[in-house]
Amino acid sequence: MKTAVFLVVLSCAVALDVTLNQHWNLWKKTNNKNYSDVEEHIRRNIWESNLKKVQAHNYEADLGIHTFWLGMNQFADLTEIEFSKMMNGDNAKVLNQKTNAQYEFTRNPNVKLPDTVDWRDKGYVNPVTDQGQCTSDWALAATGSLEGQHFNATGKLVVLSIQNLIDCSGKQGNMGCVGGEPIQAYEYIKENNGIDTEDTYPYEGDSNRCRFKAEGVGATVTGSTAIKSKDEEALQEAVANIGPIAVAIDSSHTSFQLYKQGVYHEIFCSQIHLDRGLLAVGYGTDSGKDYWLVRNSMGVKWGEQGYIRMTRNKRNECGIATSASYPLVPKM
């Protein structure tokens, strides 16, 4: 009897191992992953650890304990620390844009706001971009907000050069693929009398020498405005009435790394140690859960086709309203 039970257990274990191998190989193929023999073992162990986290979290989400689900995306072979370093560098800090911006946006309580906003529906937002392993999220947030403001002024949605900002805005305090801030990007564009288009100055995913061409300018900036820090109501009014807004968050958690869908809620998020720039393109409510609609820059395989819905009206969770801003453009 004991032998029979042992054989059944052994058979189940072998079947599970075979299935896990199949899933691992399929995941590698889907995400174009190739490793050396030594690295294969390391990455497989990390992948299995993340798989257990995803399964445990999603089981609880199915029971209603969480408001979002995780998935085994292209970052599932990385530890939390590796992911944060790869995508955000070592630059988590308190972003203090208010002191550099020319103006501050505050909430006007007399302005009635819509329940739902999505600037994608009105043509203000370009498709999701994949930054690769260059920490250019700050530049994508800056260009995203400027593209929206330029569209509002001209009726034309252009794709602006991220590489231009990476290579040329060091004087203003940005550090290329090491990191930067949208307000400093706007300062550069204003002083430079414009920013090139993506076609003129294409993305390379690495820092290089500045090759700005005046004839390739796609948009200009006259100044910048910072949203009152940590004020979600002010941010809501700005998103509702101004357009897409550059924001910064704390993204240094496995829950963000492996986010798949739903309204993201991370109780360990910081309001001040912000490491990632994104673009808030709207807001809404899902089953009673208020959220911000935010465009990320890690490709369409991540999250909800490159987007994340982040918890809104929960004490400025992840610092989304701590360092938000938008550029001012010339009136046409």
pTM of the entire structure?
0.92
Residue 296 CB-half CA count within 13 A: 25
Domain assignment present for residue 118? The answer is yes
What does the DSSP 8-state code read for residue 316?
S
Q: Which amino acid is at 12?
A: C
CA angle 229, 327, 301 (to 5 degrees): 80
In a domain, 8, yes or no: no
CATH of residue 112's domain is 3.90.70.10
Single residue among 54, 73, 92 that ends a domain in this structure = 73
Within this chain, do residues 55 and 93 fall inside the same structural domain, yes or no? no
Q: What pLDDT shows up at residue 90?
A: 56
- 70's enclosing H/E stretch is strand 68-70
Domain total in the chain: 2
Tell which of 46, 73, 100 closes a domain. 73
Could you tell me if residue 14 is inside a domain?
no
Residues 60 and 131 occupy one common structural domain = no
Whether residue 117 sits in one domain with residue 52:
no
3-state secondary structure of 223: strand
> Distance between CA 184 and CA 104 in Å, rounded?
15
117 in the same domain as 35: no
Is 100 found in the same domain as 53? no
pLDDT per residue rounded down to tens, the chain (332 residues) = 555 444 444 444 444 577 899 999 999 999 999 999 999 999 999 999 999 999 999 999 999 999 999 999 999 999 999 999 988 875 555 444 445 788 999 999 999 999 999 999 999 999 999 999 999 999 999 999 999 999 999 999 999 999 999 999 999 999 999 999 999 999 999 999 999 999 999 999 999 999 999 999 999 999 999 999 999 999 999 999 999 999 999 999 999 999 999 999 999 999 999 999 999 999 999 999 999 999 999 999 999 999 999 999 999 999 999 999 999 999 87
By residue range, what is the domain housing residue 85?
A: 81-328
Regarding whether 302 and 180 lie in a shared domain, the answer is: yes
* Whether residue 185 is found in the same domain as residue 45: no
Q: Are residues 243 and 298 in the same domain?
A: yes
